[in-house]
Amino acid sequence: MSNKSLVVITGASSGIGEAAAKVFSQAGHPLLLLARRLDRLEALNLPNTICEKVDVTNRDEIKAAVEKAENKFGPVDCLINNAGVMLLGLADTQDPTEWERMVQVNIMGVLNGIHVVLAGMKQRRHGTIMNVSSVAGRKTYPNHSVYCGTKSSVHALTEQIREEAASFDVRFIIIAPGVVETELLSHTTAKDIVEGYKEWKETMGQPLESEDVANSILFAYQQPQRVCIREIVLCPTRQNK
């Protein structure tokens, strides 16, 4: 049994979430991994880990999973809100159900996770919540209007809840990567938009790897509790001209 604190990661079946699970496991933390694809979580085969099939838009599912993990590993000390979807399109042609999906996952999913763990963290006067946003929360991009809107919301709510929780020694940290090699683009169904995005990405040089972001998340968490790195923005060092 690990003597380190429990870490909860949403969207842990691929990309940044999967990479974060690996680096936190290597650092000795017990884990609760949440995603819709349970088989992908279990395939990681990490020690001291509970894998649960959870939809982050369902607060009760998150709560039940957290209670199960806390009964085994003790209180949650770190929540990494990583689950997200990116559905690109134009405001006059995109299926509005895709907007609803992004709002539910990218905003409500984050709030649901916060709601489940924050009260306990405040009571214990210790804890860290990391919300994975995007540079799209600070800057807009073609075909990204609603996605950018959801990520801007993550920035805003994180910054305000940080102010409210700081007096209880609970940290809130925004992780805002640029283009990362993940499965995120596969959520978009419009082929012309997907091809345009791929062409644009080619002009950006070497994208970030999920491991780059995961290492930054671990770095921020490992700082003394009195140190809150409010936001980490990541981008490749060199870009094509």
* Residues labelled catalytic: 147
Q: How far apart are CA 147 and CA 97, in angstroms?
A: 13
Backbone angles phi, psi at 87, to 5 degrees: -115, 105
Q: How far apart are CA 74 and CA 117, in angstroms?
A: 12
Strand 127-132: give its sheet, edge to edge.
49-53, 31-35, 6-10, 76-81, 127-132, 170-177, 231-234
Nearest to 168, CA basis, from 130, 113, 126: 126
